[in-house]
Every structure is written in structure tokens, then in C-alpha cells.
Homo-oligomer: A and B are copies of this chain.
């Protein structure tokens, strides 16, 4: 790896000449940009810049490249594997002021947005069109950040992840070239799929400045439900049979008994304390009723108890807010702790087995281990509480996570369903895909970023 030169006054002066007061070296702002939602120690950049356009990003890239200064693209800092940490120092490009919706094409069901537009902002903006953008990782992340990390979340079982929902990207390359990866039609066979290569590249191959995303019609009817089960197997079997029956379920998330208890405490709800699945159905009024009845019948055969329904929008939102707040609710189980968030994903046929073995392992952990996950995709998260003041706790959590990843890999799973690699999953990635694949990824990284200046130290080690 090329060691970056000391960040110096020349770089700062050039950036200031370009951006005026949209460059800062204030320690508070640098520190804020040197952390995400992960357990990693903070690593602040030397400066933070706030570009307003693709051309400004290009000019920043040109300055940084000439001075061999690392560049870290930043959205809102909600990643979970240390993606935005400036481990080699350098300049963080905070894209949150690039927050214009450039175009909405209602007939084509797509929108073009600057990278700093958040998913909630986009959905608010297009509300009147009867369309929505479905990818929902929980946090109100930026669309650019979501593209960069290949985000997914609760809707992926029906609407796919960012992989399926990004149509095209505008990207500034390390050498300052600006490319548009694809045209706007939903399908194309025009050469290598550069769009998908940048989706999930975590800022290491180029800086995404604009994203064209797919939109979907808001369906005539939606209904949501919560159902407790007598076992995790009951939950997974219900979802497997639902999907096999071709029922186009829009969302199905699982929480364990500890998580639902935490939700009850935090949200003043009174859900039964047992493994629980949150469902959502989208479709015509008749089809939603039909889907819901079919799933209820399947659930009953698999030990499902007392379906609680919510059809009015406010009730549905309250129900899913409870699920979305599960992370924060669980944090209250051990005040002052941070959480190491695990992220394995296995073929759904192995999910019950993987969860069962993992929960047995969790009995050895020094704190409660709540579970939540996107059961329809085979993806689940555990929250491994750690006291940031006690490094030995983080070590224990990491060892637990390593065992979990090994277990998932042995079941043909992946170490990361949706959080990405960042700093935290590089060894797991090697275990998952093998040395040859890592070597290929490094070759690709070298083509796009020969000086290793784009978010260095993430995804694949270059030294």
C-alpha cells in the first residue's frame, strides 16, 4: 500500500480555493465523520468536505490524487462494519448536501437522485405520484450509501436489494473521469455490468454521485400482522411454506423472545414473549385478504398463535415501527453498551438449524443475545453487547461472531447478507470465497484505484 503523505496546508488551501467554507478541519466534525454504528474505534479524517455537485467531487478527487491523500465517501454514517472510518486519515467527502432529486419518471417507474438524498426524503418527494422506493435498511440512509453497501432490509424478500433496484450510477473514478454506468431502461445487455460492480463496492472503486433507482406502485391495499410461534422452527417453516406456495409476501421479519420483550419494554406494547414473525402483505384488496388467510393457515399448522392484524396505515406503521426500533429497544437491555451486529445469511432451508445452534452458543455469552432478522432471505442479526471500556468483551464478541460465520459458511451461507465487508469482514470474506476470489477482487481494485486512495483498507486488504 502506498503510504499517504502527511495531510498538509497545500491540500487544505487547494480544497478551500475550490469549496470555500465547505471544507473543515474542526475536530468535532472530523470526529463525527470518523465513526459509524459499528464497534470499531473512531478514526477521524484530516478534513471533511461538503461537495454540491459531481464536478466538485471530481475536482476534490483530482486534488487528493495529486497529493496522494485518501478519500472516504460518507452519507449519514449508519454503516455497521467501519466502512467510513478514515483508517489512513485523508479527506472525507460528506455527500449529504448533494440532496437533490434530479428527475422522477412516473411512467417509467424510476427516479434519478443525487447520492446524498435519503430514502425517506425520496419517498416523501414522490408521495403524490403513487409510487415508492422499497429498499429499507431501517436507518434513513442515503441512496448513495445504500448503493455503495448493497443495502437491503425488510422489503427485500419481495422487492429485492440495491443490487436489483439500482438501474444506473454516475461515478467519479480515481483518475477524475466521470462515467455513467448504464442507460435508463430497466434491462440492457450492453457490455460488462459496471452498475453492479459499483453497487456494493463500498467506495473503494469510485465515488457514486448520482443513482437511478427503480420505483414501484403503492399497492391498493396493505396489511400487516404479528404472530408468535412456539419455536424458531415454526417461524422458519411458515415462511418457507409461504414462499413455496408462491404467496408474494412483501415483508417477513423474525425476532426472538428476548427481542420482543425488549420491544414491549421500550414501546409499551404487550406482544406475547415468544419467537415472533412480523408480516406485511401488498396487493389488491382481495388479494391481500387471500394472502393473509393463506399465511394464517400455514402459520397455524406450524405452531403460530394469535395473529394480530393491522390494516389501517397508522396501525401498520406502529407495528413496523416496533420492529424498526428493535435495535434501540434491545440496546436498553444493557445500558451503556454498544453492539457488535452479526449478519450471516444462509439458504433458508438451513435457517432454523443455524439459528438453533447459534442460540445454544449464545447461552455461553456474558449478556443476553437478542435476535432479529429478515427470515424470508435467510438473513439474521444478533446483537452482541459489549462495553466499549472493556476490550475483553469486544474480543469475546468477535470470537462468537467468528464461530457464527464458520457455522453459516459450513451451511453454504455468506458472512454478510447486507451489512457489507468494511473493516470487519475481510477475513470472513476470504474464508467464504477463497484466496483466488480475493486475488481477483484485488486485481479489480488495482484497475480502478492504482494508488489505493479510495476508501483504503476496506473490502480487500491491498498490502
Contacts and interface: CB of A to CB of B under 8 A. Distances in A.
Contact of A420 (B173, B189, B434): B189
Contacts of A443: 447
Interface string A167-181: 000000100011111
Given A179-B440, A196-B197, A197-B196, A189 B108 contact: no
A163 interface: yes
Interface stretch (A21-29, A301-309, A343-351): A343-351
Given A164-B164, A433-B191, A185 B413 contact: yes
B196 A377 contact: no
B190 A414 contact: yes
Interface stretch (A56-64, A268-276, A284-292): A284-292
A20 interface: no
Number of copies: 2
Contacts of A434: 179-180
A194 B441 CA distance: 8
A330 interface: no
Nearest to A219: B246
A109 B243 contact: yes
A459 interface: yes
A334 interface: no
A62 to B, nearest CB: 15
Nearest to A284: B290
Q: Is the interface of A mostly helix, strand, loop or mixed?
A: loop
A425 B188 CA distance: 12
Interface in A399-418: 409, 412-418
B441 A185 contact: no
Contact of A437 (B194, B201, B413): B194
A447 to B, nearest CB: 5
Contact of A186 (B192, B194, B378, B425): B378
A185 B437 contact: no
A415 B193 CA distance: 15
A105 B347 contact: yes
A178 B440 CA distance: 11
Contacts of A105: 347, 349
A286 B194 CA distance: 41
Nearest to A206: B440
A336 interface: no
A239 to B, nearest CB: 10
Interface in A18-39: none
Contact of A379 (B187, B190, B284): B187
Interface in A373-425: 377-379, 409, 412-421, 425
27 contacts: A105-B349, A106-B244, A149-B189, A150-B193, A151-B189, A160-B164, A179-B434, A182-B414, A183-B413, A185-B377, A185-B378, A186-B377, A188-B414, A188-B416, A189-B414, A190-B414, A190-B433, A191-B460, A193-B197, A196-B197, A197-B197, A217-B243, A284-B287, A286-B290, A443-B447, A446-B447, A447-B447
Top 4 A-B pairs, shortest CB-CB distance: A196-B196, A217-B246, A107-B349, A188-B414
Given A151-B189, A179-B436, A183-B432, 4 more contacts: A179-B433, A188-B345, A192-B201, A444-B444
